[in-house]
């Protein structure tokens, strides 16, 4: 049976504390929706409302166009199963007995367990990998094993909709992936509708087709994982800065928190640093500055080279040039603009060819304009010069013009420089 859920203007309060406000959400048959959001944002409360364990303070939940409150309890239990967060066993049943309790919505006629019940129970235990536990006492199981037993009980309920509250919370990595793949398989093959609160954003984005992000009891964002899990959204809602990296095997990007998190105190905006690099020479420098809470600009970088990838990943302001093309005048002009805005210009130890001489010209121009220019690895400049002369001369002028020279990029020293009022 196809079951759709419509949530309209739902508000919910525990006493006087409003925990959910104005939630509008549609669950269509066959959906796989992940609900994400920080601790206390109302995820569990939303799920409990959808399972009719809690009653909305205002607004409505409709199951197939009928108000959820109009369903009899057992009738609803044949449509929607819930695996709660941190579910505690009431009694020390054996595993198989617990899974059998999932069959309660079908016991209206007080019949003894029938073949269909046994089949459902055995299948559920088999799918969730707890068949071998069937004679064990629930209290003797680990948190992860128990979690699988409660999932088995929900699957034995054979409902078209499954609500899960942090189903992978106590599971090790292998079981996390296995469980989500199991749910994905049931979703794809048997059209099981899945709504899962998920605490791990990477798993949420990998397995959900749609995401809903809650923040302080409101829907903050919804859509595809890529639409919802942006750096800006995560920064605002989780107050943590992250990188989004392509997963090497495809699929949605991986979310990597940056440590130490700069999100809470915010990125430094005051001091401006412009890094001139290319070909990977500036990647370490840019990353170190970024981790320090500084947001450098960068230029002129060839589209696709590793410095360009670094700058783009961090969302830096940068000047880019087509691959394998010499720096054009337009790009050079933009680069000078960023140099002009900066208080410190860092020249990375780049390889010099006729195509990127203008990068050195830009640094030299900065120096002449009175900027602090830091030249890195000056001792190897000769070995990095493939211009047949002009590159070396420009380096010479930088040195003579009073650029700061540094063999190894050293943030402490730069801090000292900045503290003494560079630029």
DSSP code at position 328: P
**Alpha helices for 191-305 (secondary structure H):** 201-207, 225-228, 231-238, 283-291
Q: How far is CA 372 from CA 282, 290, 369, 378, 423, in A?
A: 18, 19, 9, 16, 6
Please, which residues have CB within 8 angstroms of residue 107's CB and are 6 or more apart in sequence?
A: none
Shortest CB 42 distance to Mg ion, Å: 8
Calpha distance 42→27 (Å, rounded): 18
User: Taking CB under 5 A as the rule, which mask of x and - marks residues 72-111 in contact with Mg ion?
Assistant: -------------x--------------------------
Shortest CB 20 distance to Mg ion, Å: 12
**Number of residues in the chain:** 423
Q: Does 44 bind Mg ion (CB under 5 A)?
A: yes
Nearer to ligand ADP, 41 or 193 (CB): 41
Nearer to ligand ADP, 40 or 304 (CB): 40
Nearer to ligand ADP, 214 or 235 (CB): 214
Q: Which does 40 bind (CB under 5 to 8 A by kind): ligand ADP, Mg ion, none?
A: ligand ADP
Q: Does 281 bind Mg ion (CB under 5 A)?
A: no
Q: Does 84 bind ligand ADP (CB under 6 A)?
A: no
Indicate which single residue of 14, 139, 324, 386 sits in contact with ligand ADP (rule: CB under 6 A): 14
Burial 138-173 (b: 16+ CB within 10 A, else e): beebeebbbbbbbbbbbbbbbbbbbbbbbbbbbbee
Nearer to Mg ion, 180 or 357 (CB): 180
Phi, psi of 162 (to 5 degrees): -125, 125
Ranges of beta strands (E only) in 182-290 are 193-197, 210-215, 218-223, 242-245, 254-257, 273-276
Shortest CB 45 distance to ligand ADP, Å: 3
Shortest CB 59 distance to ligand ADP, Å: 16
Shortest CB 43 distance to ligand ADP, Å: 3
Q: Which does 42 bind (CB under 5 to 8 A by kind): Mg ion, ligand ADP, none?
A: ligand ADP
Shortest CB 20 distance to ligand ADP, Å: 8
User: Taking CB under 6 A as the rule, which mask of x and - marks residues 21-60 in contact with ligand ADP?
Assistant: ----------------x-xxxxxxx---------------
Q: Kindly give the pairing relationship between strand 32-36 and strand 193-197.
A: parallel
Calpha distance 259→257 (Å, rounded): 6
What residue ranges bind Mg ion (CB under 5 A)? Answer: 43-44, 85
Residues that bind ligand ADP (CB under 6 A): 14, 19, 37, 39-45
């Amino acid at each position: 049976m196809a079951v759709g859920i419509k949530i309209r203007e739902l508000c919910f309060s525990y006493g006087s504390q409003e925990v959910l406000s104005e939630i509008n959400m549609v669950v269509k048959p066959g959906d796989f929706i992940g609900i994400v959001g920080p601790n206390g944002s109302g995820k569990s409360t939303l799920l409990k409302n959808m399972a009719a364990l809690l009653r909305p303070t205002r607004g409505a939940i409709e199951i197939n166009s009928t108000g959820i409150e109009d369903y009899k309890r057992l009738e609803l239990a044949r449509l929607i199963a819930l695996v709660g967060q941190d579910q505690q066993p009431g009694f020390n049943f054996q595993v198989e007995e617990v899974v059998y309790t999932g069959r309660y919505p079908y016991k209206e006629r007080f019949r003894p367990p029938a073949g269909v019940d046994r089949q459902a129970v055995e299948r559920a235990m088999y799918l969730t990998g707890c068949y071998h536990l069937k004679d064990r006492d629930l209290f003797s199981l680990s948190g992860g094993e128990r979690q699988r037993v409660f999932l088995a009980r929900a699957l034995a309920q054979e409902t078209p909709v499954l609500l899960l509250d942090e189903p992978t919370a106590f599971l090790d990595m292998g079981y996390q992936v296995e469980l989500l793949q199991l749910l994905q398989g049931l979703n794809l093959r048997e059209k099981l509708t899945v709504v899962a609160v998920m605490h791990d954003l990477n798993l949420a984005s990998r397995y959900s087709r749609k995401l809903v992000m809650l923040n302080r009891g409101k829907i903050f964002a919804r859509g595809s994982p890529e639409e919802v899990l942006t750096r800006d959204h995560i920064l605002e809602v989780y107050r943590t800065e992250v990188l989004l990296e392509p997963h090497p095997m495809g699929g949605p990007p991986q979310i990597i928190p940056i440590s130490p998190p700069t999100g809470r105190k915010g990125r430094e905006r005051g001091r401006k640093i412009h890094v001139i690099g290319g070909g990977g020479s500036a990647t370490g420098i840019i990353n170190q500055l970024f981790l320090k809470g500084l947001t450098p600009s960068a230029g002129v970088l060839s589209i696709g080279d590793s410095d360009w990838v670094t700058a783009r990943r961090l969302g830096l302001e940068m000047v880019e040039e087509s691959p394998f093309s010499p720096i054009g005048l337009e790009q050079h002009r933009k680069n000078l603009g960023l140099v002009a805005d900066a208080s410190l210009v860092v020249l990375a130890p780049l390889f010099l060819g006729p195509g990127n001489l203008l990068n050195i010209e830009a640094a030299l121009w900065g120096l002449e304009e009175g900027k602090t220019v830091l030249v890195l690895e000056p001792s190897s400049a000769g070995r990095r010069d493939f211009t047949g002369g002009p590159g070396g001369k420009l380096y010479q002028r930088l040195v003579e013009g009073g650029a700061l020279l540094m063999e190894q990029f050293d943030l402490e020293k730069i801090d000292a420089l900045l503290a003494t009022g560079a630029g």
